[in-house]
Amino acid sequence: MAQIFDRSSNALARMSLVLTGLIVIALGVTLDQLQRSPWVTRQGQRADQPVPFSHKHHVQGLGLQCQYCHTSVEKSSYAGIPPTRTCMNCHAQIWTNAELLQPVRDSWATGESIVWTKVHDLPDYVYFSHEIHVNKGMGCSSCHGRVDEMPIMYQQNTLQMEWCLNCHRNPAANIRPTSQIYNMAWKSPSELSPVWCAASDVKKGVPTAQSVNCTSSDPASGSGNPQLASLHLNPARLALISGAQATDAPTSVRTPQPVSYTKFTSQEALGSFLVQHYNIRSPRDLSSCEVCHR
Amino acid sequence: MATKDAPINDPMIDPITGEDRVLAPGHTFKSVTEKISNIVLTPHTPLGWFAGFVLAGGVMGALLVAVTWLFLRGVGIWAITIPVAWGFAIINFVWWIGIGHAGTLISAILLLFKQQWRNSINRFAEAMTIFAVVCAGMFPLIHVGRPWLGYWLFPYPNSMNVWPQFRSPLLWDVFAVSTYATISVVFWYIGMIPDLGTLRDRSKSKLGQYVYGIVAMGWRGSVRHWVRYETASLLLAGLATPLVLSVHTVISFDFAVALLPGWHTTIFPPYFVAGAVYSGFAMVITLAVPIRKFYHLEDLITLRHLDNMAKVMLTTGLIVAYGYAMEVFMSYWYSASHWEYFMMWNRMFGPMGWSYWVLITCNIALPQLMWLRYVRKSVPLMFLMSLIVNTGMWFERFVIVVTSLYRDYLPSSWGTYRATKWDYATFAGTLGLFTFLFFLFVRFLPMIPMSEIRMMLPQAKVRTEAEALPEAGD
Amino acid sequence: MPIVEGTYGLLAEFDTPTQLVRAAENAYSAGYRRMDCYTPYPVEEAAEAIGFHKNEVSLVCLIGGLLGVAAMFGLETWISLWAYPLNIAGRPYYSWPAFVVPAYEWTILFAGLSAAFGMLALNGLPQVYHPLFNAANFRNGASTDKFFLCLEATDPKFEPAETRSFLETLAPLSVVEVEY
Amino acid sequence: MKEQGVGFRVQGTAGDGVEFMSEHEISATEKQTAKLTLDGVRKKLAGQTGKKYWRSLDELAGTPEFDAAVQQEFPQHSSEWIDPVSRRGFMKLMGASMALAGLAGCTKQPDEPIYPYVKAPEDLILGKPVFFATAFPFPTGAVPLLVKSDAYRPIKVDGNPDHPLTAGGSDPITQGTLLDLYDPDRSQRCYYRGEIREWAAFLASFRATLAEKKAAGGAGVYILSGTVTSPTMAAQWKKAQASYPNAKWVQYDAVNRDSAYAASKAAFGDYADAQYKLDAADVIVSLDADFLSGATFPGFHKLAKDYTKRRKLEKASSGDYSMNRLYVAESMTTTTGLKADHRLALRASDVPGFAAALAAAVGAGSAPSGYTWSDDAQKFLASVAKDLKASGGKCVVIPGEQQPASVHAAAIAINDALGNVGKTVIYTETVNPMPSMQTDDLKSLVADMNAGKVEWLVILNANPVYSAPADLQFEDALGKVKTTVHLGSHRDETGLTTDWHINGTHYLEAWSDARAYDGTVSVVQPLIDPLYGGHSAHEVVQSLLDNPDLSAYEAVRATWAAQAPAKGADADFGWRKILHDGFIANTAYTAKSGGGKAAIPAVAAQAAADSIEIIFRPDYHVYDGRYANVGWLQEIPRPVTNLSWDNAALMSYATLEKIGASEHDVLEITLNGRKVLAPALAVPGHADGSITLHLGQGRKIGRVAGGVGFNAYQIRTSDAPLYSGGASIKKTGDVWGFAVTKSHYIDQRSVKVGGDGSGTHSIEGNEAMDRGIIRYATLDEFKQHPGFAHEGSGKDDPDPDTSMFPAYRYDKNAWGMSIDMNSCVGCNACVASCYAENNIAVVGKHQVTMGRMMAWLRIDTYYEGDLAAPRAHFQPMACHHCENAPCEQVCPVGATVHTPEGLNTMVYNRCVGTRYCSNNCPYKVRRFNFLLYSDYETESLKLMHNPDVTVRSRGVMEKCSYCVQRINAAKIEADKENREIRDGEVVTACQQACPTDAIVFGNINDGSSRVRKLKQQERSYGVLADINTRPRTTYLAEVININPELAAARGEFAPENS
């Protein structure tokens, strides 16, 4: 009587053993990739919006300032989505009967909101504040990418915890002069395009923006007054700061005088300089849980 | 010595030592092989088996319902609360793990000590271990508030860049229990390979031949294989021994590492292990007694086995008793700590004092009866004993978990604990699951290791020329 | 694998381990090397007889164990010092005493698994097809109560007729030729 | 509403930041918020009521418009993403877990829509809270408030720190009014005989009636209201009376000030309020006056603050501690009594006699005849009198609100005789602009109703059907009135009986004004458009005037026009200042000239010793029942009894034994013919022979209030509204389960451990002493042993460096808290505030009974000594943020870790819920979501949530975070300005609410911070610090100022102890 199994089954048995191992490994790798995939993170996906609003056109084309629409980005954790009124400021005059803008006009007429789909959507247990990032030299484009080159808005980065931590553990890698916050085209300094910075003598109690001046044109070359690095402050905030500072910083509103400028040709150098002069908290502080989760 | 007047014609008594035999005389390779393999290979399943199987399945149903409701509503369906945030779930977990210990102990430690009598019981003791660990392993998962996130306890690269917290005894549990489960299964399976070969060769049905053939991996009994096989088994035994000791030690850390009076104790590891073995052997007896009756295995699982196990239980039981005594001594006198003092007073005379006395009765008082040869030799009494000890050991965990928690440091937060029907359903359910698996095991796998029984037969010895040649064959 | 044809070897069946061991010894001293014994339970003497003395399972096991301890302790150290150092209960980042336990468990896990799978691998299992299974008496007895000695055809000294007659001298129950 | 200026302040964090005024169109923004929030919803739901209403609200919840509203309301609506899952039940949950499996916790979320404004209000910065000043009108005087508003949703109510009277303190009821605003059971619309009507329809018929009644001078038109607190309302009525002289206005609150008014009328010829200046008093005597337990006592905030000012043990210039001494003679045990240095338990009916006797003893009257006192009472009386006389002009006697006029008269006489008037007590005009004897008025009203004289009865913000004295049978009388109207925020017992029901406004929804107890006027400004389009009483009353459509806003503004001067061209300047400040400066009452010459009326004969009296008291939290539907107030355990939900028949252990009942037994209490069923509960220190029933429970309506407790009004009659003797008690044999959060373990008295073996002690209390959890000394002992808190075994804190590991160093900020046990009066304000700030869930009676209350902060009450006459200690208990946190070490996933600033932070979204941390927490301050406790369905409650705090989902551990959201807000402000956080810049919710400054929070590394200084005091100790947890929260040990004549020192350094 014949054998239960034929010759080939030996090979088969061993193969299957090896295969099981491989499958397990493959599965692990897949899941690891999956959790970071755009399918999960929405990275680079373009949600369909009621109005195909083009940041490219408005920012690059028309040169609108970020804050023209995102008004509270310096004042609040929430950058702000423009009300219909903001659109109508212009579109009451131009493109008044463009097909694309119908939803805007409807909203204006009916008083119902334009219903956008959130592109940068953090989980609800994550507390992110635009306010502090913008004030401490984190440029829009560092997180949102070249918005001025996006006909349709999409999410440039994964916005996952590991991505946040990358920067929180080493802010120097991304920090830039506060004067360059809204500069979409900002590039880290290099031999070709160096940056000169000077820290003003007053440290304590001066808004980050005012404690350091940076310029991309060599101040020594007498090319005139270096543009002052400072976020524009509305009177209210100035008042608030000065008032709050009444005791320990009477000098806050005084425009600091540039002193000796230092030349920076690399992001590392500039980064560590700014981290020091902007009083950025230590990586250990920044990567502590309660910073983002409460 | 009762041997003298022991009836010479009693085949189960060894006339020389006067002890019960580990194995009835007159068996041949073939007879033992057939006796054991037929239980599995017989085409017609006994009705009793079906009855029990269905019953166990039914009880297991309770578990399914309870767990479904649990996932639906949350752990709040149990009685746990603040301050008693751990309840039945952890109690059962520790209890089952404890039971799991006997199997490995018998197969590993007794193997190292070359105890022959282990052979006939080690296979199903190991099976018991695995099923107990299955029941135990379930609890840590379902008892957490958000079970669907249980995988966060394992270290794996993730997009959050966060990792488990290795200072936590619970995390140690994860590794201890998973390791224990894995090693036990491997040990069990390796041990079964030769017998699976036997089943393959003896099976009449094509399906049987196929299935057993695959799992037997083509074992053919080459002596070269045997040698490596023996080494591997010995190594596994050698590894399983420290493992089995470590597992319950680690479990005891869950309590010992915490700073709660009644938990924060250095004596926990040793007496947890002893307790585990204690309850483990009790469970082996609980299983062995009905099995040997039902499958007429009296000549393979003899009174000698019961006797030996009873002695092991006595020993471990005394270690446990010593543990309790130490606890009392330390908290009342040695520690000079108010917390300890109050804890022990409250454990004995507090509102839940009854549980402590149940524990003392079942674990210490009654088992002393096993000093009597009469009790050790009486199958029903031993069965009863095993049940008592199992109960006692469950209450030990109850006392440790609940009566330490419900009145701890801050009097304002004292509370109480009253189990809900879902607590009971879950516990009963695991008993069902356990028996369910066990029924499957006895039906489809050799519950007694044939190859090892063969070794025990007198004709298994290789004789030298000096010895006479009359060979017992068939 | 290439299909091998012809004779695998000659299989002698014995009734008792003693006979088997004797036979094996004789065969060995007669200069046969490519041979194996098959028994329903471990018979060390037989292994000795055919000159099989040491095996590598222990070594494999040791390596596995070392691997396990290194892996886990390394992981723990990396996590708590570099990956995400956190102040837990005011304990130092590198709380090595706490790391011992998981490392210990992994030592045993890795050692155990390598011992088991090492053994199977060294035994060339799984090997569900084997020429010997062609011999009916082998299937019936080898895993129950019979003892077999197989002299394999690949042995230089193997010579069907001679070998058979040689085996006959060892008083076996039977000698059968095993085909591939 | 047009052109309304609203001053508001932008604040970095509460109490800090510069204030500036600006104007903006509240009308416009209100329309905006309304449009985007509840308007649409309201339309959709029109015509649906009760359950159906909520069901359809649920259906709505799915629709995008609705999410729109919520999203708009919640720029950063924070809740664990899992919430919709847990809402939609098992299948979804399983689906979610599938989705989760393999993913790293961060899961694929559904698309979230954004709903921007169409026209954004100018000075709205989404995500930045704005603080508005307003006031909470309460019968005993308004509580001036500073309300935190997020996107125009009031989300936190707190006292106005600048107010001259309260200076920022608040109380549980005030905190609870926030939830009252968002109460889903609030009345949604107007009804006429059960059918929905428009407000206009009511106005039409009301005004028609008025027109025809005008001739008769409004005869037959009656208004019945709760205690009037608004001067504007009074003014409106005054005007109305000109044209309707015969119309009548009756005020009735079940808990009123009739006794005080009667006494003052007798003494001064006119109604007067007594204001006590406790900061000037060395000796304070309370005659059943519960002035430390909450807003139920007039002027509570100020009294509590002043009382504790003299117990902070700061050395005065004289080198002495100038500590006051408090004597309390009371019936029901109260926090006041438990804070007293000496307390005497007296039956309520004995207090008048005692008061008279005391008056006699200090020479202000003659002793009552036929009163016999126990030895204790006599001793007490004698030494109190002695102490009083010794400190004439520097002492004060306070009569109980729930005591008859004679006690008040006695108090007036005593204070007068001791020359306290003008020093420690002044008498002023009444806070109530139209004071009256309410019970008498109600009697005559009912008489008129029965006589058929009443044609129109307009009931404003009152619930007489529920709370009127039983003997008046108000409901029957109501049937005899032609037309009855009820205006109220809830459609309560009365609202369901009357012909008309008008859905009223909450005080945060409508304009009004009110006086604080010192008379200072606050304008009540609304923070949100009426959620359900309700109407305020002002609108109804205005109908009586010739300009019936004048809005409440205009009416109020008109009233105070004189106090709101223009500044140059800026006509609104004064008005804006008023709104901004939250009060009108210098409007406090001045003292009446001339002390009262009170003749003490003869007191009734002493009740038989064996008779049992019933005492009626307002509930600490739900007051007379008006807040019975506020979940927080029901759930937070009452002081003293620790009873959460329910009310009970409260009595002493002796009385309990005497009537042969045990706790939980349901008793049938019969009081002259009327019966009520009440479960028995023993209270340590309660006067024997009397049973206290708290009013306000046993409501018929409301998903919270319904079915809670029993209605004590059933046996309360108009002739004895305060207490009444001659009750008969019968056991029914039924048993009632209480939700008592701490029992005193009388099931097992401390015979074996601790105590004196008498078995009359609370084992809990004894353990607290033995374990050094409570540490206190008498003043003398303190002077001899300033460091007493650290003397004795188990009371020393281990040195951090004895550890095998080096201690973690906190070099920058190190947050810490110090709690003064001397100042804590156990009023629960902090607990309620914590609920509001941290979105803490209400779990309901059953869960509380199981011990699953979610309060992050609780007030532990320990009873020391014989439970018949105990000394008690209040200990606020929240997470101690231990530096060696036992909870952190055992968490397997690192969900609770230490921050570099020493916070023990809980990361909800990382928690898997092993509950190990709770087991290992010696303070048991961790709370676990055993089930899905957070309410994700009820939309109105969503509006209330604090957007800066995660709403915890099921299966997650939570605990006090030191209000980390506030710390982070302050950090961001400070970092923007490159400075350190200033001391006092971070104020925790509990600290903010505390009326007595018992809680101080700050940076202990900052040498100049208050908390640092407090922690350096020798009295400062850490609870359980000897087990080396190194808690960041420490306590200042209690010091009591006992009268050596009355008691030997009780502290552990007393001669007999040491």
Is pLDDT of B195 > 60?
A: yes
CA-based nearest residue in chain B for residue D855: B82
pLDDT at D610: 86
Chain A environment of C136 (Cβ under 8 Å): 1
CA-based nearest residue in chain A for residue B218: A10
Residue A44 lies in a domain: no
Contact at CB, C89 and D898, closer than 8 angstroms: yes
Chain D environment of C92 (Cβ under 8 Å): 805-806, 808
Tell me, yes or no, whether A168 and A230 share the same domain: no
- Listed in sequence order, the residues at least 6 apart from D1030 whose beta carbon sits closer than 8 Å to its beta carbon are C90, D797, D800, D882, D883, D884, D1022
Tell me, yes or no, whether A158 and A209 share the same domain: no
DSSP per position, B418-467: ---HHHHHHHHHHHHHHHHHHHHHHHHS-SS-HHHHHHHSGGGSPPPTTS
- Among B10-14, B453-457, D481-485, which range has the highest average pLDDT? D481-485
Please tell me chain C's helix, strand, coil percentages from 3-state DSSP, rounded to the nearest 5: 50, 15, 35
Chain B environment of C83 (Cβ under 8 Å): 161, 163
Could you tell me if D965 and D948 are in contact, meaning their C-beta atoms sit under 8 angstroms apart? yes
Rounded CA separation D836/D171 (Å): 12
Domain locations in chain C? 7-54+129-179, 56-123
pLDDT at A208: 72
* Among C130-134, D536-540, D824-828, D835-839, the least confident range: C130-134
Percent of chain B with pLDDT over 70: 95
Burial class (CB in 10 A: 0-12, 13-18, 19+), B244: buried
Tell me, yes or no, whether A231 and A266 share the same domain: yes
Name the minimum distance, in Å, from the CA of B225 to any CA of chain C: 6
Chain B environment of C58 (Cβ under 8 Å): 231, 235
Instruction: Quick: pLDDT tens for D669-699.
Output: 999 899 999 999 999 999 999 999 999 999 9
> What integer is the mean pLDDT of B120-136?
91
Rounded CA separation C87/C84 (Å): 10
Rounded CA separation D773/D795 (Å): 9
Taking only the tens of pLDDT, chain C with its 180 residues reads: 456 678 899 999 998 899 899 999 999 998 898 999 999 999 888 998 888 888 899 999 999 999 999 999 999 999 999 999 999 998 899 999 999 999 999 999 999 999 999 999 999 888 998 989 988 889 888 888 899 999 998 888 888 888 999 999 888 898 998 887
Tell me, yes or no, whether A113 and A219 share the same domain: no
Q: How confident is the model at residue D66 (pLDDT cuts 50, 70, 90)?
A: very low
Contact at CB, A36 and B161, closer than 8 angstroms: no
Contact at CB, C89 and D886, closer than 8 angstroms: yes
pLDDT at B466: 55
Tell me the backbone φ, ψ of residue B470, rounded to 5 degrees.
Answer: -55, 115
Chain A environment of D12 (Cβ under 8 Å): 240, 244
C27 touches chain B (CB under 8 A): no
pLDDT at D110: 78
Instruction: Quick: pLDDT tens for D756-803.
Output: 666 778 888 888 888 899 999 999 889 998 889 998 877 878 887 777
Q: Which of D771, D928, D929 sits opposite B85 (nearest CB)?
A: D928
Tell me, yes or no, whether A270 and A243 share the same domain: yes
Chain A environment of B218 (Cβ under 8 Å): 5, 10, 13
Q: Which of C84, C127, C134 sits opposite A10 (nearest CB)?
A: C127
Residue A218 lies in a domain: yes
Contact at CB, D889 and B168, closer than 8 angstroms: yes
Nearest to D548 by CA among D207, D797, D281, D789: D207
Rounded CA separation D679/C134 (Å): 88
- Candidates C4, C129, C178: best to mutate against A (most CBs of A within 10 A) is C129
Chain A environment of B214 (Cβ under 8 Å): 13
- Candidates D771, D795, D911, D914: best to mutate against B (most CBs of B within 10 A) is D914
Name the minimum distance, in Å, from the CA of C100 to any CA of chain D: 16
The total number of structural domains in chain A stands at 2
pLDDT at D594: 65
Helix (H/G/I), strand (E/B), else coil: D389: helix
Tell me, yes or no, whether A99 and A209 share the same domain: no
Rounded CA separation D980/D902 (Å): 16
pLDDT at D17: 30
Please give the helix or strand (H or E) that residue D285 lies within, else none. strand D283-287
Quick one: three-class SS letters along chain A? CCCCCCCHHHHHHHHHHHHHHHHHHHHHHHHHHHHHCHHHHCECCCCCCCCCCCHHHHHHHCCCCHHHHCHHHHCCCCCCCCCHHHHHHHHCCCCCCCHHHHHHHHHHHHCCCCCEECCCCCCCCCCCCHHHHHHCCCCHHHHHCCHHHCCCCCECCCCCHHHHHHHHHCHHHCCCCHHHCCCCCCCCCCCCCCEEEEECCCCCCCCHHHHEEEECCCCCCCCCCCCCCCCCCCHHHHHHHHHHHCCCCCCCCCCCCCCCCEEECCHHHHHHHHHHHCCCCCHHHHCCHHHCCC
Tell me, yes or no, whether A192 and A239 share the same domain: yes
Residue A121 lies in a domain: yes
Nearest to D169 by CA among D1033, D998, D1009, D1001: D998
> What integer is the mean pLDDT of B134-153?
93
Is pLDDT of A123 > 60?
A: yes
Instruction: Quick: pLDDT tens for B13-72.
Output: 777 777 777 777 778 888 889 889 988 888 888 899 999 999 999 999 999 999 999 999
Is pLDDT of D81 > 50?
A: no
Tokens 């009472």 sit on residue: D377
Residue D97 CB neighbour total at 10 angstroms: 17
Tell me, yes or no, whether A65 and A164 share the same domain: yes
Pairing of strands D512-515, D483-488: unpaired
* Among D645-654, D863-872, D998-1007, the least confident range: D863-872
Residue A62 lies in a domain: yes
Q: At which of A173, A199, A220 does a domain end? A: A173
pLDDT at D763: 83
Percent of chain A with pLDDT over 90: 58
Is pLDDT of D742 > 80?
A: no
Could you tell me if B432 and B134 are in contact, meaning their C-beta atoms sit under 8 angstroms apart? no
Q: Which chains touch A (3 or more CB pairs under 8 A)?
A: B, C, D
Is pLDDT of D910 > 80?
A: yes
Q: How confident is the model at residue A248 (pLDDT cuts 50, 70, 90)?
A: very low
Contact at CB, B200 and A165, closer than 8 angstroms: no
CA-based nearest residue in chain A for residue D810: A285
B7 touches chain A (CB under 8 A): no
Residue A43 lies in a domain: no
Nearest to D457 by CA among D809, D221, D686: D221
Could you tell me if A274 and A175 are in contact, meaning their C-beta atoms sit under 8 angstroms apart? yes
Contact at CB, D805 and C92, closer than 8 angstroms: yes
Instruction: Quick: pLDDT tens for B196-217.
Output: 999 999 998 999 999 999 999 9
Residue A270 lies in a domain: yes
Q: How confident is the model at residue A168 (pLDDT cuts 50, 70, 90)?
A: very high
B207 touches chain A (CB under 8 A): no
> What integer is the mean pLDDT of B461-466?
71
Instruction: Quick: pLDDT tens for D881-896.
Output: 999 999 999 999 999 9
Q: How confident is the model at residue B350 (pLDDT cuts 50, 70, 90)?
A: confident
pLDDT at D129: 92
Question: What stretches of D638-696 adopt beta strand conformation (E)?
Answer: 643-644, 649-651, 665-671, 674-682, 690-694
Q: Within 13 Å, how many C-alpha atoms sit on residue A195's CB side?
A: 26
Rounded CA separation D624/D140 (Å): 13
> What integer is the mean pLDDT of D142-147?
95
D857 touches chain B (CB under 8 A): no
Residue A46 lies in a domain: no
Domains of chain B: 34-153+164-456 (1.20.1630.10)
Whether the predicted interface score ipTM is above 0.85: yes
Q: At which of A146, A173, A200 does a domain end? A: A173
Which domain covers residue A191, as residue numbers?
187-282
> What integer is the mean pLDDT of A262-276?
92
Q: At which of A117, A143, A173 does a domain end? A: A173
Chain C environment of A9 (Cβ under 8 Å): 128-129
Tell me, yes or no, whether A161 and A224 share the same domain: no
Task: Specify the pTM.
Answer: 0.89
Residue A163 lies in a domain: yes
pLDDT at C140: 85
Amino acid at D460: L
C143 touches chain A (CB under 8 A): no
CA-based nearest residue in chain C for residue A10: C127
Residue D818 CB neighbour total at 10 angstroms: 25
D59 or D600: which carries more pLDDT confidence? Answer: D600
pLDDT at D1001: 97
